[in-house]
Amino acid sequence: MAPEMLRGDKYDAKVDIWALGITALEMVDGPTQPKDMPPELETPRNLSPVFRSFLQSCLNPNAKRQWTAKKLLKHPFLGKSKSLVEMAPLIDAVRRPRTAAPEPLLAPSLSGQEGKEEQVEKEAASS
C-alpha cells in the first residue's frame, strides 16, 4: 500500500503510480517487505541507473514528490521499452525448457524401496 493509505490520509490516483513501482520492483526482487512498510531504495542494488531512477520516481514516500502518470510516461526507462512484437520471442524463450528434465531424486531400486543415494552408497561399499 502507498504510505498515504497506510497513514489513513486522503489519497488520489498517485497510489496507482506507487503500485506500478512496487510491481516493477517485485518483478526484479520478488515479494517486497511487509506491506505496512515502504521499500527502501537506499540499499545498494544491482539495478541499472535508469531503472533505479524509474523506481525512485514511482516510490517516493512523499506523494507530492511522486511523478504523475503523464510525466512518468516520458521517463527514459519507458523510452527503452520494446513493442509486444519484439518482446514475444524473448518471453517465449524464457518459457521454453532450457535443458532436459532433471533426473528424479529417488531412483527405483530392485526392491523399489531404496533411494538413489542409498543405492550409490551400497554400490560404493561393495566395491
Residue 92: phi, psi to the nearest 5?
A: -60, -40
User: Rounded to two decimals, what is the model's pTM?
Assistant: 0.58
pLDDT in tens, 101-124: 666 555 555 545 555 555 556 666
Name the strand (E) or helix (H) holding 28. Answer: helix 14-29
Using CA atoms of 15, 16, 21, 27 in order, give the dihedral in degrees to the nearest 10: 130
pLDDT in tens, 46-104: 788 898 899 989 988 887 888 999 999 999 998 888 787 887 887 777 777 666 666 65
The answer to whether 3 and 63 are in contact (CB under 8 A) is: yes
Cell for 99? 535443458
Closest by CA position to 25, among listed 8, 44, 39: 39
Q: Which phi-psi region, left, alpha or beta, contains residue 14 (left: φ > 0; alpha: ψ -120 to 50)?
A: alpha
Closest by CA position to 59, among listed 81, 38, 29, 36: 38
